Amino acid sequence: MSIKVRYFASLKESIGRSEDNLEFSGPATVGDVWHRANPDKTLPDNSLAAVNMDYVELNSAVKDGDEVAFFPPVTGG
């Protein structure tokens, strides 16, 4: 299955790219997507993930054609 991965804000800057296209041969979760795309980086605590523009947990399943997006922790004041 083919998954498009997008990174935003400081995640995009720290990774050095804005997107990836990944292929999986079996079932996968959002967390699996992060680990496949960034095997040497830990997803920062409190980061957000979305599948097809809906916020999800890292253990949410992905399917062929999904777009997975990662957002850094949000701060406010």
Measured in whole angstroms, how far is the alpha carbon of residue 53 from the centre of its chain?
A: 12
Task: List the structure tokens of 61.
Answer: 């399943």
Question: Domain limits of the chain?
Answer: 2-71
- Return the pLDDT at 73: 81
- Return the pLDDT at 76: 60
Region 63-69: mean pLDDT is 98
- Return the pLDDT at 8: 96
- Return the pLDDT at 77: 58
The domain made up of 2-71 has a fold known as: Ubiquitin-like (UB roll) (3.10.20)
User: DSSP per residue over 4-65, as a string?
Assistant: EEEE-HHHHHHHT-SEEEEE-SS-EEHHHHHHHH-TT-PPPTT-EEEETTEEE-TT-EE-TT
pLDDT (tens digit, 9 = 90+) per residue, 5-40?
999 999 999 999 999 999 999 999 999 999 999 999
Region 37-52: mean pLDDT is 95
Q: What is the DSSP letter of 72?
A: P
pLDDT at residue 74 greater than cutoff 80: no
**Identity at 1, one-letter amino acid code:** M
